[in-house]
Structure 1
Amino acid sequence: MAIVWSSEQIVALAPDAGSVKNGKALATASKWQNLGGTERVLWGECQGSGKNPYQAQIDLSEPAFKCSCPSRKFPCKHGLGLFLLHTSHTNLFTQAAPPTWVQDRIDKRSQTAQKKEEKQKAPVDEVAQAKRQQKRSDKVGAGIADLDLWLQDLMSAGLAEAQAQSYSFWDGMAARLVDAQAPGLARRVRQLAGVANSGAADWASQLLIDLSQIHLIIQGYQRQESLSPELAAEIRTQIGWTTSQDDLLGLLQREEITSHQDDWLVMGKSLSLDPTSNLQTQRIWLRGQNSDRDALILNFAVRNQPLDVSWLPGSLVPAGAIFFPSSYPLRAIAIERQDARQPATIAGDATIELAIDRYRQGLIQNPWLEAFPLFMQDVIPSYYDGNWSIVDRDNNYLPLQITDLVGWQILASSGGHPLTLMGEWNGHKLRPLGIWHDRNFWQANTGEVW
């Protein structure tokens, strides 16, 4: 079935609650003029504070937004308002050939897509690639050796001494790892400061676990020749030695890896911000309807810069997925994407036990998993003694990481009946991202359920 855009799915594309409010305010016919559309694109002009109206358009195939307003939010309130207006009043949009300003954008996007496809097919300079990798390897190796000595000194002094250290102690080591081009390890070292100074009753045990994981990465890297190629690749990823998309496509061209074609259900999206670098990380979780396999699309952007809104939560997207090398492959890029459509059915794991078993298998192969997708059907939200959880038909439960507002909204949307829920599991609590009830979808990670 072709995708049927609901207001809930459109609102899920908004960058923040303010954009939702302003977009809904613009979803009235009196705000717009020269409305039009085709099967692929919508357009309209919205009068703002300036002399000329803002020109907004939406490519429905992804969707992709474009507006002449100066807003740095993506999509802006005009794009959201235009989309919401079309959903509620399709008859206002005249079916006609796109005006010049819309057609120019369509042509430009087609040219960009063609260039991207040509780049993907271009041969990789393997000699230059090997030189870059060796230079990076030398710097990382020196940084790993420095970290190993630092970690030995830290453990010799004892965890009590670690708790007494200032933030500059941890930041100093992290900065040296950044210089050594090991940003993954630098992030882990910075996180140690928060654990040591958290004041939690179990801070010592948690700090020991985190230090042990760093030690495991160090030992794995120093012995990578004896590891399987998949585990060695995971070790390098944890250090921060990521494989570029071009490198991944090169592996595909040389038939060292394959593309996995499937109909991918967009289970949910989450967004996090690193306050030290102002870097946004967007996680888009997919599940193959034929392979029953999970995939993670990662996108990065500096604060206030646009992120990918083309993956609509709750929709089904036929595409090929190329997985990054890993001991437990999750992260992937998509190729040969087709238009999104409405899924015929929504089905997660039948019980919490089955969902946790997926996580258990993943943890066996990759002990550094920090976020894992759990997708369960027929679970009921529950509130007891100030804590939120979900309960399945076998009376198993998982604690939820949500605010009371979101918890009550989820409970209200379910009416106390079973629903299908997807969330990110960190080994302790589940952060809900996508919720289905009576075939309606809600996105919960923004602090609201619409």
Structure 2
Amino acid sequence: MDEAGVRWTVEQVLALAPDAASRKAGARLGEAGPWSDTGSSGEGAVWGLCKGSGKKPYQTVIDTKGPAYTCSCPSRKFPCKHALGLLLLWADDGTPAVGQVVDVGDGAAPDWAEEWLAGRRERADAKERKAKDEAAGAAGQADPEAARRRAERRAARITAGARELEQRLTDLLRGGLAAAERSGYGLWEETAARMVDAQAPGLAARVRELGSIPGSGAGWPVRLLEESALLRLLVVGWLEIDRLPAPLATTVRTRVGLPSPADGTPVRDHWLVLSQYDRSDGKITTRRIWLHGRESGRTALVLGFGAAGRSPQPALPVGRVIEAELTPHTGAGQLRADLGEETGIGEPGGPPPPGGTTTAAVEAYGTALRDDPWLESWPVTLTDVVTVPAGDPGTGEWQLADADGESALPIAPVSWSGMWRLVALSGGGPVTVFGECGHRGFTPLSAWSADSPETVRLT
């Protein structure tokens, strides 16, 4: 996350929490009261004893270079509330309220902490030696022909699965959309499982989405028809992939479920962290981080993944500028990039990205769809917009309207819960808002007001 010896911000620490309850409990432990024998080292280690309900205090140790955590408490969450609280004591947010409540100074680790840290160093050294040995062996024993044959076998399995799915969609239309509600979800789940067997996880995910549409509310037959058409377009794209332009072919491979390589030209820049939020499907938590390059003018998406209660990495402070190198992924309309080495995190502030009207935002999304028809949304910045209720105020629906025009964008339903923060920021006046514009509406993620240059996080 940071170089050893560089203290994190409070926001970076709280972003590690596996859930809201852990975040709240960790914040309560971010004060001196229950802690003793705290310390840190210039090599990225932090430790401390936290008084609990038992006679013995909990022993908490953190390696910030991982990051990795250990604690003698019985919690199954990772990191636990004690690790979060200790990191909050150690964090530096530039105020005495958190970072200076207790002295977590540099020093030698006690035996109970050093034992765990030494084990981590030994395992890291062994892993590095193994990686070097494997790299040396691969350099001398790489078999491009074997790799090509494996790729061909997987492509053949995906093709067989795509043909089966095409027939399934044809049967759906022949039987009538009304029959989809009567057949239930089981048939869709069976079809999705067959796509997994065909090594096409992207197709499997879209099939499961189709299965959730029948009976989902008013207008579901229209939504089912639209999503079925998009899925069939993807299937045909795979079956005719040799006839597609190279960028679009890469996009089809990615949407089907093949890995998208990060082999674009690396871009080093000062990146403003526009937003960071997590989504979970019950098994995997996906973190989406939007960045904007000050010099390059590029907008990039960094993804992180966490499983089994683990918080995804990386965690970046919204509103700050980081100096880093990003390597873009390939494919038509792809904004995803891999985060390389960070050389520093700057001060908060900085102007928002250049923006435009709500009409320009819709046009930008439409243009992106030409390169990637399966794109759910596109990052845009709206300037001089005001928040107004959409229709009857009692519905709780909102929209963003141009202050000097007649156009407006509906706010996506998933964003209504955070609208009051945006309404309070605007105070009825125009604001600048960054978010994702898609077929469900606009999802506001960050905002700036005329009275303050700081980035206000809306998620």
TM-score w.r.t. length of structure 2: 0.81
Instruction: For residue 232 of structure 1, report the CA deviation from its aligned partner.
Output: 0.9
CA contact under 8 A between 1:147 and 1:173: conserved in structure 2? yes
Aligned partner of 2:458 among 444, 447, 450? 444
Instruction: For residue 113 of structure 1, report the CA deviation from its aligned partner.
Output: 10
CA contact under 8 A between 2:41 and 2:109: conserved in structure 1? no
Matches within 5 A, 1:19-38: 19-37=22-40
In the other structure, the counterpart of 2:183 is: 165
In the other structure, the counterpart of 1:299 is: 304
CA contact under 8 A between 1:74 and 1:307: conserved in structure 2? no
Residues 283/350 of structure 1: CA separation in 2 closer, same or farther (3 Å cut): closer
CA contact under 8 A between 2:49 and 2:57: conserved in structure 1? no
In the other structure, the counterpart of 2:277 is: 270
Residues 338/24 of structure 1: CA separation in 2 closer, same or farther (3 Å cut): same
Aligned partner of 1:179 among 197, 212, 215? 197
Instruction: For residue 132 of structure 1, report the CA deviation from its aligned partner.
Output: 2.0
Instruction: For residue 40 of structure 1, report the CA deviation from its aligned partner.
Output: 7.3
Residues 260/125 of structure 1: CA separation in 2 closer, same or farther (3 Å cut): farther
Instruction: For residue 235 of structure 1, report the CA deviation from its aligned partner.
Output: 0.9
Q: Distance in 2 between matches of 1:406 and 1:263?
A: 29
Aligned partner of 1:149 among 151, 167, 170? 167
Instruction: For residue 442 of structure 1, report the CA deviation from its aligned partner.
Output: 4.4
In the other structure, the counterpart of 1:399 is: 410
Matches within 5 A, 1:14-413: 14-37=17-40, 41=44, 42-50=46-54, 51-57=56-62, 59=64, 64=67, 66-68=69-71, 69-86=73-90, 87=93, 88-91=97-100, 92-99=102-109, 101=113, 104=118, 126-201=144-219, 203-243=220-260, 248=261, 252=263, 257-275=264-282, 278-353=283-358, 354-384=360-390, 385=393, 386-395=396-405, 396-400=407-411, 401-402=413-414, 405-413=417-425
Instruction: For residue 153 of structure 1, report the CA deviation from its aligned partner.
Output: 2.0
CA contact under 8 A between 1:73 and 1:304: conserved in structure 2? yes
Q: Distance in 2 between matches of 1:326 and 1:382?
A: 37
Q: Distance in 1 between matches of 2:292 and 2:347?
A: 15
Unaligned runs of 5+ in 2: none
Q: Distance in 2 between matches of 1:7 and 1:71?
A: 22
Moved more, 366-375 or 306-315: 306-315
Q: Distance in 1 between matches of 2:399 and 2:8?
A: 30
Instruction: For residue 436 of structure 1, report the CA deviation from its aligned partner.
Output: 4.4
Please tell me the residue identity of whatever aligns with 1:147.
Answer: L
1:422 aligns with 2:434: yes
Residues 84/422 of structure 1: CA separation in 2 closer, same or farther (3 Å cut): farther
Residues 110/268 of structure 1: CA separation in 2 closer, same or farther (3 Å cut): farther
Q: Distance in 1 between matches of 2:130 and 2:441?
A: 40
Q: Distance in 1 between matches of 2:163 and 2:217?
A: 31
Q: Distance in 2 between matches of 1:32 and 1:79?
A: 12
Instruction: For residue 367 of structure 1, report the CA deviation from its aligned partner.
Output: 0.7
Unaligned runs of 5+ in 1: 446-450
Please tell me the residue identity of whatever aligns with 1:326.
Answer: G
Q: Distance in 2 between matches of 1:310 and 1:80?
A: 14
Q: Distance in 1 between matches of 2:7 and 2:57?
A: 32
Higher-Rg member (1/2): 2
Moved more, 314-323 or 17-26: 314-323
Please tell me the residue identity of whatever aligns with 1:263.
Answer: H
CA contact under 8 A between 1:11 and 1:80: conserved in structure 2? yes
Q: Distance in 2 between matches of 1:117 and 1:422?
A: 41
Deviations 1:349-406 (A, max 9, x none): 3323444343222111111102332333444433352312233433443222346552
Q: Distance in 1 between matches of 2:70 and 2:328?
A: 34
Number of paired residues?
429
